[in-house]
Amino acid sequence: MPNTYGNRTLTEWLTLVLGVVIVLVGLFFVIGGAQLAMLGGSVYYLICGVVLVASGVFMVLGRTLGAFLYLGALAYTWVWSLWEVGFSPVDLLPRDFGPTLLGILVVLTIPVLRRLETRRTLRGAV
Amino acid sequence: MRRSHLLATAACVTLACAPLAANAQFAPAGSGGSPTASVPGPGNADEPTATTPASTSRFSGPSPYAPQAPGVNAANLPDIGSMDPNDVPQMVPQQSAAPAQGDWSAYGRDDSQTRYSPLSEITPQNADQLKVAFVYHTGSYPRPGQTNKWAAETTPIKVGDGLYMCSAQNDIMKLDPATGKEIWRHNINEKYEAIPYTAACKGVTYFTSSQVPEGQPCHNRILEGTLDMRLIAVDAATGNLCEGFGHGGQVNLMQGMGESVPGFVSMTTPPPVVNGVVVVNHEVLDGQRRWAPSGVIRGYDAESGKFLWAWDVNNPNDHSQPTGNNHYSRGTPNSWAAMTGDNALGLVYVPTGNSASDYYSALRSPEENKVSSAVVAIDVKTGAPRWVFQTAHKDVWDYDIGSQATLMDMPGPDGQTVPALIMPTKRGQTFVLDRRDGKPILPVEERPAPSPGVIPGDPRTPTQPWSTGMPALRVPDLKETDMWGMSPLDQLFCRIKFRRANYTGEFTPPSVDKPWIEYPGYNGGSDWGSMSYDPQSGILIANWNITPMYDQLVTRKKADQLGLMPIDDPNYKPGGGGAEGNGAMDGTPYGIVVTPFWNQYTGMMCNRPPYGMITAIDMKHGQKVLWQHPLGTARANGPWGLPTGLPWEIGTPNNGGSVVTAGGLVFIGAATDNQIRAIDEHTGKVVWSAVLPGGGQANPMTYEANGHQYVAIMAGGHHFMMTPVSDQLVVYALPDHKG
């Protein structure tokens, strides 16, 4: 795997950056979410944070699984937020707007991740 | 309260927000730990005497018996003499008793302070044509090197051929109501140092003398109370001081107040005249020290300026002026809201605030506990209260009343009319009382409240009053799911902040081990904008705030570390804590740390919008809400203080009240989007809005000149609401009626 990002294209760079951002967001969720859970608050952030960290790590490693983990977390986020506040746009805004924007970017990385995986498979076959 | 801090914008995608939010710390304000100072017992709860040794701490203020600092007697006036209240001459009928159709004769237009005008030229159909008729500059704004403490909050009055108003620093002027041309201006030369928390002058009072014949100077007078505690009378025709009033037209209101410094005590509201008695109250800077100057209410003869009586809470039976080295009792509840007079009953309705050191009540006397955060009806013949109605018991939340009471008639049980008074509060509870005896007309329930609380020796009361017959101007108690933000990151931050604090609803007792959430906070519910009431339609208009606070008591040691000291401490430096913020509360075991319940890294409130609302209540048909919606758009607000430009009516914090007219319109600025708007009184629809040159944190007014209707608002802005400060009075009219 050392050569996964050997000759990176721009899209591969951006995918890497997105993976790092998702790891950072995930860490924020894990640390903050653990505090919140210990204070008796929602456990959503802790659970979601763990998934996000995993998602980001896999994306950094060039694994398509990372993107699908993110989309799974996003689906969880939507279900949770609708359960928590219903169809109230003002309340859905902080919960879902940013994560969905990120989700669109993540979807765009799927072909890139696929290409990376293919390249790695080919290289593994050599 | 600070201006709203809103809202995710498309410009701030999560990517951009993540690094900043990731740096956020979770440290709460203040510190934990138990108090280092022991709680003073009952024996220590008395005011220091002349022989009490002065504290040697550099964080303590001087003895109440210390001489007043230079400038406290701003005009170096001699003491004013007293006279017997029975010798007050019979008052002639005043302009404000029955204002001419096109006049606005008092702060709230008339003696009932309804803020209702019978003018009807401007209607929901033509309001969208309103244009600026003229702009007048008062000349008062922060000069280079001066801290911005400005919020003029001024409402002009209009009587006959004059529009009378004051600048934020109390210069008085008469304008031509049709053109805005200055007819005269009386400069009072107030010093910058006299500005307390805010440079504000809410208005002036028009008084017609019974002793000076018509046509003579000072037959009609403009009365004003000033930031530097002068009561001034000038001739309405010329602006010259009334020589027969006080000493050359002025009275020193710091007489008998004991030790003080400029900016500690000040007047910001127009004094009412009731049966010839001009009644003055004053604000005392919050949070400074337990033994701050007195909150005494006083009556003076409106003809001569002579002293008549004092209502001094801890000297209830002594209505005279202190003599020698004595002073009015210290630390008593102050009243800074506009008062309302009632000539028929001979009463003045005083909305009171809290005893000094707002967040700690163990040192208050039983007399103070009876009258703080209350409506007190004082007999203007004697200075003695006739009745008291309390809106929060043993208040440690700064639920002092900022609103002026509005008088109205309510149908009584047997079909007769009951003289009533509407008292809005910061709690969002609106009390409707019989003004003859202070008894509630609409039901008031005493409901259980958290008691005794957590501070040793300072128990909270087991119940608090709730006005169940009126719609509550508040949202339900906050929940973790009410936390907001522009992304899940800052929302998470606020959720943790919420969970870290004590919170058991509106009367969560103060705590020192961790912060507590205060909702409604000191800017919550109804503030000094008060309410407007249309007696024809029976519609009551109320604008209100949803702005929680995040507070914590701190030990004396911690308060010293924070550098908190009272304003009269010789070591005090401006910015070292003040009103509406961190306070030393010198003389008590604790200091206070007060912040908005917000994300300090983004400047956005932690709770979900809206942050400000406007409500119409039908008082004639069961006090039902006719309409209610958020007030103020997101155009001038956003994260990190950036304007978003969005027209979304998100509901911003608001300060300043409304006007309601026979034309079926409500005029209001108040919101932090710096707009004035006209709202259809019956539907709530915004039919016109215009952007002001500064924040519209003032009560508008409307009047008629040359046969046409004008709408005026002081766009003075507000330093604490973080809206742009200006010195401009902006006056609107329909086209072709420009001055």
Q: Identify which of B495, B493, B501 has the alpha carbon closest to the alpha carbon of residue B517.
A: B501
Please tell me the distance from the alpha carbon of residue B204 to that of residue B201, in angstroms, as a whole number. 8
Please tell me the distance from the alpha carbon of residue A23 to that of residue A54, in angstroms, as a whole number. 8
**Through-space distance between the first and last CA atoms of chain B, rounded to whole angstroms:** 36
Please tell me the distance from the alpha carbon of residue B225 to that of residue B165, in angstroms, as a whole number. 12
Do B26 and A99 make contact, defined as CB atoms within 8 angstroms? Answer: no
pLDDT bucket at B645, cuts 50 / 70 / 90: confident
Of all residues in chain B, the percent with pLDDT exceeding 70 is 92
What is the average pLDDT across B168-178? 98
Question: How far does the CA of residue A25 sit from the closest CA of chain B (Å)?
Answer: 7
Do B14 and A91 make contact, defined as CB atoms within 8 angstroms? Answer: no
Do A40 and B499 make contact, defined as CB atoms within 8 angstroms? Answer: yes
Question: How far does the CA of residue A116 sit from the closest CA of chain B (Å)?
Answer: 24
Which candidate from A36, A90, A101 shows the least CB-CB separation from B499? A36
Q: Does A40 touch chain B (CB under 8 A)?
A: yes
pLDDT bucket at B524, cuts 50 / 70 / 90: confident
Question: How far does the CA of residue A126 sit from the closest CA of chain B (Å)?
Answer: 38
All residues at 6 or more sequence positions from A96 whose CB lies less than 8 Å from its CB, including other chains: A77, A78, A81
Q: Does A28 touch chain B (CB under 8 A)?
A: yes
Do B492 and A33 make contact, defined as CB atoms within 8 angstroms? Answer: yes
Q: Does A93 touch chain B (CB under 8 A)?
A: yes
Q: Which two tokens mark A79? A: 């279900």
Query: Which residues on B lie below 8 Å from A93 (Cβ)?
Result: 7-8, 486
* Contact yes or no for B661/B116 (Cβ under 8 A): yes
β-pair type (B116-117, B658-661): parallel
Residue B25 pLDDT: 29
Residue B351 pLDDT: 98
C-alpha distance from residue B410 to each of B101, B112, B162, B382, B417 (Å): 24, 13, 34, 28, 6
Residue B738 pLDDT: 47
Among chain A residues, CA nearest to B24: A28
Q: Does A97 touch chain B (CB under 8 A)?
A: yes
Do B488 and A93 make contact, defined as CB atoms within 8 angstroms? Answer: no
Q: Identify which of B594, B212, B544, B210 has the alpha carbon closest to the alpha carbon of residue B402.
A: B544
Among chain B residues, CA nearest to A35: B496
Q: Which residues pair with B703 in a beta bridge?
A: B710
Mutate to test the interface with A, among B495, B502, B517 (most CBs of A within 10 A): B495
Do B495 and A36 make contact, defined as CB atoms within 8 angstroms? Answer: yes
Instruction: Name the 3-class secondary structure at B4.
Output: coil
Q: Identify which of B365, B363, B349 has the alpha carbon closest to the alpha carbon of residue B314.
A: B365
Question: How far does the CA of residue A4 sit from the closest CA of chain B (Å)?
Answer: 25
Q: Does A37 touch chain B (CB under 8 A)?
A: no
Residue A6 pLDDT: 56
* Contact yes or no for A103/B16 (Cβ under 8 A): no
Which candidate from B487, B493, B609 shows the least CB-CB separation from A32? B493
The answer on pLDDT for B455 being more than 80 is: yes
- Of A77-81, B11-15, B136-140, B270-274, the range with the lowest mean pLDDT is B11-15
Among chain A residues, CA nearest to B501: A39
Query: Which residues on B lie below 8 Å from A42 (Cβ)?
Result: 480, 495
Residue A1 pLDDT: 43
Q: Which two tokens mark A38? A: 């210990």
Q: How many CB contacts within 8 angstroms connect chain A with chain B?
A: 84
Which position among B398, B482, B527, B586 bears the catalytic label? B398
Please tell me the distance from the alpha carbon of residue A25 to that of residue B21, in angstroms, as a whole number. 9
What is the average pLDDT across B474-479? 96
Do A90 and B14 make contact, defined as CB atoms within 8 angstroms? Answer: no
Q: Does A89 touch chain B (CB under 8 A)?
A: no
Instruction: Name the 3-class secondary structure at B531.
Output: strand
Please tell me the distance from the alpha carbon of residue B266 to that of residue B282, in angstroms, as a whole number. 5
Q: In what order do the strands lie in the sheet with B708-714?
A: B131-137, B728-733, B708-714, B701-705
Please tell me the distance from the alpha carbon of residue B522 to that of residue B595, in angstroms, as a whole number. 11
Do A24 and B490 make contact, defined as CB atoms within 8 angstroms? Answer: no
Among chain B residues, CA nearest to A29: B489
β-pair type (B686-691, B675-680): antiparallel
Query: Which residues on B lie below 8 Å from A39 (Cβ)?
Result: 496, 499-500
Catalytic, B398? Answer yes
Which candidate from A24, A42, A101 shows the least CB-CB separation from B495? A42
Q: Which two tokens mark B690? A: 């215009």
The answer on pLDDT for B541 being more than 80 is: yes
- Of A14-23, B21-30, B262-271, B334-343, the range with the lowest mean pLDDT is B21-30
What is the average pLDDT across B354-359? 94
Mutate to test the interface with A, among B4, B26, B499, B606 (most CBs of A within 10 A): B499
Q: Which residues pair with B274 in a beta bridge?
A: B277
Which candidate from B8, B22, B26 shows the least CB-CB separation from A94? B8
Query: Which residues on B lie below 8 Å from A90 (Cβ)?
Result: 484, 608-609
Question: How far does the CA of residue A35 sit from the closest CA of chain B (Å)?
Answer: 7
The answer on pLDDT for B556 being more than 60 is: yes
Residue B415 pLDDT: 83
Do B13 and A98 make contact, defined as CB atoms within 8 angstroms? Answer: yes
**Three-point CA angle B332, B336, B339, nearest 5°:** 110
pLDDT bucket at B250, cuts 50 / 70 / 90: very high
Among chain B residues, CA nearest to A85: B481
Do A99 and B14 make contact, defined as CB atoms within 8 angstroms? Answer: yes
Mutate to test the interface with B, among A95, A100, A105 (most CBs of B within 10 A): A95
| Orientation of helix B488-500 relative to helix A98-125, angle to 10° | 120
Question: How far does the CA of residue A124 sit from the closest CA of chain B (Å)?
Answer: 34
The answer on pLDDT for A5 being more than 70 is: no
Residue B18 pLDDT: 34
Do B496 and A28 make contact, defined as CB atoms within 8 angstroms? Answer: no
Do B499 and A45 make contact, defined as CB atoms within 8 angstroms? Answer: no
Please tell me the distance from the alpha carbon of residue B433 to that of residue A25, in angstroms, as a whole number. 55
* Contact yes or no for B233/B245 (Cβ under 8 A): yes
Q: Identify which of B589, B485, B496 has the alpha carbon closest to the alpha carbon of residue B550.
A: B496
In DSSP notation, B121-136 reads SS-TTTGGG-EEEEEE
Residue A125 pLDDT: 54
Q: Identify which of B324, B179, B298 has the alpha carbon closest to the alpha carbon of residue B729.
A: B179
Residue B358 identity (one-letter amino acid):
D
All residues at 6 or more sequence positions from B551 whose CB lies less than 8 Å from its CB, including other chains: B359, B510, B515, B516, B517, B518, B592, B593, B594, B595
Residue B10 pLDDT: 31
Query: Which residues on A lie below 8 Å from B487 (Cβ)?
Result: 94, 97-98
Q: Does A101 touch chain B (CB under 8 A)?
A: yes
Mutate to test the interface with B, among A15, A29, A36 (most CBs of B within 10 A): A36
The radius of gyration computed from the CA coordinates of chain A, to the nearest angstrom, equals 16
pLDDT bucket at B49, cuts 50 / 70 / 90: confident
Please tell me the distance from the alpha carbon of residue B313 to that of residue B334, in angstroms, as a whole number. 10
Q: Which phi and psi angles does A110 have, rounded to 5°?
A: -60, -45
Residue A120 pLDDT: 85
Report the greatest alpha carbon distance in chain B: 75
pLDDT tens-digit series, residues B174-216: 999 999 999 999 999 999 999 998 999 999 999 999 999 999 9
Q: Identify which of B229, B210, B228, B231 has the alpha carbon closest to the alpha carbon of residue B219.
A: B210
In DSSP notation, chain A reads -TTTTTT--HHHHHHHHHHHHHHHHHHHHHHHHHHHHHTT--SHHHHHHHHHHHHHHHHHTT-HHHHHHHHHHHHHHHHHHHHHH-S-HHHHIIIIIHHHHHHHHHHHHHHHHHHHHHHHHHHHH-
Q: Does A33 touch chain B (CB under 8 A)?
A: yes
pLDDT bucket at B678, cuts 50 / 70 / 90: very high
What is the average pLDDT across B535-540? 97
Query: Which residues on A lie below 8 Å from B26 (Cβ)?
Result: 32, 35
Q: Does A70 touch chain B (CB under 8 A)?
A: no
* Cα dihedral B589/B594/B597/B600 (nearest 10): -120
Question: How far does the CA of residue B323 sit from the closest CA of chain A (Å)?
Answer: 58
**Three-point CA angle B717, B358, B37, nearest 5°:** 135
Residue B487 pLDDT: 96
Do B481 and A98 make contact, defined as CB atoms within 8 angstroms? Answer: no
Among chain B residues, CA nearest to A100: B14
State how far Cα A57 lies from the chain centre: 9
